[in-house]
């Protein structure tokens, strides 16, 4: 009934709708879901009444069994059919029936002996036969109940499989959301979609290339032939950290750090083109969008790279071997560093044009 449906929660109503084969939108109100589900259950009563899930609904819709009126005390001995109905109906009627039989026995005691000998026999026979009928019919009810727990049709089996699949997908989606992976991906995307992200990408490439040159990786061990990879051997390498204690590591690292990081950052801090005036509380103050201007940073970096590595300026002071080692370590040589600077300059100009 509608009252039973009204007592259910909205998510329970949606699950009942899916169980019945009725598609409903999650954005609907609860009253609309109840009305639609009630109408659908009434139309499909023949098919869904055997489903154990909807037994409370269809059980509430059945009309209660009306008991017959209690027989009067002066009616005498009842018929066999009346005793059959009295025994089958319930325990509450049995006590009344026994009382009536006792009264009838006392009433018949004054009758002729022929009636006294014949009167109890039909009662005992009728009671025994009614009890046997009741015992025979009881297993049929349990069999029907077991049958109602089975899927009534292949369509219901398909709906049940679809419902279970949707529950699995919903659980996986919740697990993916609770893991924090979507927030991490969004944060990484926001970082890479900025001028700072583009600049950091090129700086990581340069530092990785220099590390492979000044801190070489040496062979450690191998896994041996792997059968499921066609006998392939996987070798493991690790950087030799003992080179950190040698001058061959620090001279190239310091040269790259000065020309590509320290000197351009110092110039970009003082020659910051992102500073602009804003009004705060009626006063004009200067605010810098970037503490280190990325446009100035890449211009100074490109100039220092071209002068030091391209023209060999101050190679006698620094050491021609150190300059050549840093230049050869970069992807594409010093020209690869210049290309990275040009890309970052274009990113700065594009970002400034979008803000205008």
What is the predicted pLDDT for the residue at 205? 94
Of 29-43, 87-101, 142-156, least confident by mean pLDDT is 87-101
Q: Read off the pLDDT of residues 167-219 as tens digits, 9 standing for 90 and up.
A: 999 999 899 889 889 899 999 999 898 999 999 999 999 999 999 889 888 88
Q: Read off the pLDDT of residues 124-140 as tens digits, 9 standing for 90 and up.
A: 444 444 444 444 455 55
| Residue extents of the structural domains in the chain | 2-63+150-174, 82-148, 194-214+246-354
Residue predicted with more confidence, 52 or 324: 324
Which among 56-70, 75-89, 297-311 has the top mean pLDDT? 297-311
**For residue 338, what are its two tokens?**
């210049």
What is the predicted pLDDT for the residue at 257? 94
Whether the CB-CB separation of 285 and 260 falls below 8 Å is answered with no
**For residue 185, what are its two tokens?**
């991906």
Closest CA to 108 of 81, 100, 87: 100
Whether the CB-CB separation of 162 and 169 falls below 8 Å is answered with no
At 262, is the pLDDT very low, low, confident or very high (cuts 50, 70, 90)? very high
Q: What is the mean pLDDT of the chain?
A: 76
In this prediction, residues 59-73 reach a mean pLDDT of 47
At 34, is the pLDDT very low, low, confident or very high (cuts 50, 70, 90)? confident
Which position has the token pair 């340069």? Answer: 206
Calpha distance 80→190 (Å, rounded): 89
Whether the CB-CB separation of 337 and 260 falls below 8 Å is answered with yes
Parallel/antiparallel/unpaired status of strands 283-288 and 275-280? antiparallel
Q: How many CB atoms lie within 10 A of CB 39?
A: 12
Strand (E) or helix (H) holding 286: strand 283-288
């Amino acid at each position: 009934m509608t009252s039973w449906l009204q007592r259910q929660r909205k998510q329970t109503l949606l699950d009942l709708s899916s169980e019945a084969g009725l598609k409903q939108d999650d954005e609907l109100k609860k009253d609309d879901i109840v009305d639609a589900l009630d109408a659908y259950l009434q139309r499909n009563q023949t098919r869904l009444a055997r489903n154990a899930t909807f037994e409370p609904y269809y059980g509430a819709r059945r009309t209660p069994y009306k008991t017959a009126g209690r027989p009067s005390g002066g009616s005498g001995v009842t018929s066999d059919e009346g005793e059959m109905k009295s025994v089958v109906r319930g325990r509450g009627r049995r006590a009344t029936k026994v009382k009536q039989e006792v009264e009838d026995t006392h009433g018949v005691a004054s009758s002729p002996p022929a009636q006294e000998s014949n009167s109890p026999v039909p009662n005992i026979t009728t009671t025994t036969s009614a009890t046997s009928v009741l015992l025979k019919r009881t297993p049929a009810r349990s069999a029907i109940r077991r049958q109602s727990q089975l899927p009534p049709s292949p369509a219901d089996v398909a709906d049940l499989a679809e419902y279970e699949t949707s529950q699995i997908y919903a659980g996986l989606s919740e697990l993916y959301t609770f893991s924090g992976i979507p927030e991490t991906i969004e944060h990484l995307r926001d970082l890479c979609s900025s001028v700072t992200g583009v600049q950091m990408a090129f700086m990581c490439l340069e530092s990785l290339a220099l590390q492979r040159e000044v801190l070489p990786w040496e062979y450690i061990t191998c896994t041996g032939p792997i059968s499921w990879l066609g006998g392939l051997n996987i070798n493991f390498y690790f950087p030799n950290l003992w080179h950190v204690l040698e001058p061959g590591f620090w001279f190239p690292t310091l040269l790259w750090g000065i020309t590509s990081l320290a000197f351009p950052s110092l110039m970009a801090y003082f020659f910051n083109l992102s500073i602009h005036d804003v009004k705060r509380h009626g006063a004009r103050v200067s605010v810098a969008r970037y503490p280190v201007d990325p446009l100035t940073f890449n211009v100074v970096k490109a100039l220092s790279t071209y002068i030091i590595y391209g023209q060999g300026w101050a190679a006698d002071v620094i050491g021609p071997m150190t300059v050549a080692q840093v230049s050869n370590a970069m992807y594409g040589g010093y020209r690869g560093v210049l290309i990275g600077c040009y890309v970052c300059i274009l990113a700065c100009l594009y970002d400034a044009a979008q803000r205008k």
